[in-house]
Amino acid sequence: FKVNTFDQLCINYANEALQQNYVADNFRAIKLEYEEEGIHVFDISLVDNADVMELFEGRLGLLGQLNSECIKKNGLRER
């Protein structure tokens, strides 16, 4: 795509949030179980997308910036 739309941004955000929940619910539980059994486990940080979620949800993230523009009377307009 040459230009991503707001719809695509929302889809990407939803996918990343789902990925984060999946990792939290599944991989971390499996990792603990494997470690208890003495089985070597891969580095879970390889599938952690916390940095991406910070980009979306962080204090200076995309969603916060979009919200700030929506609150302004005229917002940021292309000139």
CA dihedral 7, 9, 14, 15 (to 10 degrees): 110
In degrees and rounded to multiples of 5, residue 44 shows phi and psi of -65, -20
Residues 13 and 55: their CA atoms lie apart, in Å, by: 10
Cβ–Cβ under 8 Å, residues 73 and 67: no
What string of pLDDT tens digits covers the 79 residues of the chain? 677 888 888 898 999 999 888 888 888 888 889 889 999 887 777 777 888 889 889 888 888 888 888 887 776 665 4
Residues 28 and 36: their CA atoms lie apart, in Å, by: 12
